[in-house]
Structure 1
Amino acid sequence: MLDIEVIEDPAAAEASLDPIRTRILQELVEPGSATQLAVKVGLPRQKVNYHLKALERHGLVELVEERKKGNVTERVLRATAASYLISPVALASVAPDPRRFSDRFSAFWLLALAARTVQEMGKLIAGAAAAKKKLASFAIDGEITFRSASDRAAFAEELAVAVTRLVDKYHDGGTGASTETVSGARKHRLVVVLHPALKTTQHSPEKEQDND
């Protein structure tokens, strides 16, 4: 079972968004049968079986084992991942393209970069899993409080300068031939983001309140 599976197929994305199927996927983090799920989700076993077949058809659940109980075979299934994320590939024709934006302070550019990150990491994780290899990645996550908008702008500028300096130091531009052909060399994607943290309220913990 993967920690996170990125869904690229539009039909699979549609199947996963059904509230009942979402609940079934949540319950199937631990293996279970249709009979067990029926009790947990409060639906008839036949109805649960209908949803399980749809999820299995789209590769979102997998067979763990089959148990014989008299003349009946009970199928035990498990979700293919603990969590799911829908890739922009599922909406390819309207997916955001970072190349449409030129302002690095644009919130829409940040969203487009995030969408591209989901798309590319989904493909990389799937490829690494198929090859049974570990995927090398690195991320920084933290929070910083600025006293003013000018301090935030100054920080962003200094961060850009520092990152550019590091890129210039370590980037192997090659001498004509593609660096991909050099033994051990491989291109990596670098994305650094900075945005206001979401303010929480008692009734709406995810509502954005910051308009600064």
Structure 2
Amino acid sequence: MLDIGVIEDPAAAEASLDPIRTRILRELTEPGSATQLAAKVGLPRQKVNYHLKALERHGLVELVAERRKGNVTERILQASAASYLISPAALASVAPDPHRFSDRFSAFWLLALASRTVQEMGRLITGAAAAQQHLATFAIDGEITFRTAADRAAFAEELGAAVTRLVDKYHDGGPGTPAEGASAGGGRKHRLVVALHPTLKTAAPKTAPPNPSPNTNPSAKEQDND
């Protein structure tokens, strides 16, 4: 079972978005039969079997065992991943293209880069799993608070300069015609994305208004509520 399954096929994406099937996928992080699932999701076994066949057809669930119960063979299934992410490849004709944007400070360019990252990582993970190879990746995740917008702009400028220096230092751009996925010097190409964006704001907890003092002037209270 993968930690994250990236769905690229539009039909598989449609199948996964059905609320009942989503529930079934969540329940099948542990192996189970149609009979066991029926009790958990509150549906007849025949209805659960219908949904299981659709999910299995798209590779979202897998057969892990079969066991005999009298004259019946019970199939034990498990989700192919612990969680799923729908790739922009499922909407290939309308997926965002990073090449349409050139402004490093554009929120849409950042979104397009994130979309491309999901799409490329999905394919890399699938290929690495099929080849039974480790996929070499690296990421940094953190938060930073800027005192002013000027500080944020200065940080972005310094970060860009620092990354450029590192790229110039380690980039292999030797002579020759590179094969797909390789540099001109014969090394392995890697995608580099550095992202910075504000964190989501959390709603402040609601507090009850203070009780008015017995000496509160009614007219003043009405004025405050206008």
TM-score bracket, normalised by the shorter chain, equals: over 0.9
Q: Does 1:189 align with 2:183?
A: no
Q: 3-state SS of the aligned residue for 2:91? A: helix
Q: How does 1:77-156 map to 2 (within 5 A)?
A: 77-156=77-156
Separation (CA, whole Å) in 2 of partners of 1:142 and 1:74: 47
Provide the secondary structure at the position in 2 that maps to 1:32: coil
Q: Which amino acid aligns with 1:135?
A: L
Larger Rg: 2
- TM-score normalised per structure 1: 0.92
Q: Secondary structure at the match of 2:62?
A: strand
> Could you list the runs of 5+ residues in structure 1 that have no partner in the other structure?
204-212
For 1:29 and 1:61, locate their aligned partners in 2 and report how far apart those are by CA, in whole Å: 9
* Cα distance in 1 for residues equivalent to 2:153 and 2:97: 25
- Give the distance between the partners of 1:141 and 1:23, measured in 2 at CA: 30
Count of paired positions: 203
The one-letter code of the counterpart of 1:56 is: E
CA positional deviation for 1:189: 0.1
User: Matched residue of 1:188: which SS?
Assistant: coil
* Corresponding position of 1:25: 25
Question: Per-residue displacement from partner, 1:153-204 (whole Å, max 9, x unpaired)?
Answer: 111110000000000000011124327277871000000000000012268x
Deviations 1:16-60 (A, max 9, x none): 000110010001000000111111111111111110000000000
Name the structure 2 match of 1:207.
none
For residues 68 and 186 of structure 2, what CA distance do their matches in structure 1 show? Answer: 51
Compute the TM-score of the two structures, normalised by the length of structure 2.
0.87
Question: 1:53 corresponds to which residue?
Answer: 53
**Deviation (angstroms), 1:149:** 1.0
Q: 1:132 to 1:182 in 2, by over 3 A?
A: farther
RMSD: 1.5
Report deviation, 1:90.
0.4
**Runs (5+) with no aligned partner, structure 2:** 206-226
AA partner of residue 198 (structure 1):
L
SS of aligned partner of 2:21: helix
Task: Indicate yes or no: 2:3 matched with 1:13.
Answer: no
- Residue of structure 2 equivalent to 1:209: none
Runs of 4+ in 1 over 6 A off after TM superposition: 181-184
Q: How far apart are the structure 2 equivalents of 1:107 and 1:144?
A: 18
Q: Which amino acid aligns with 2:10?
A: P
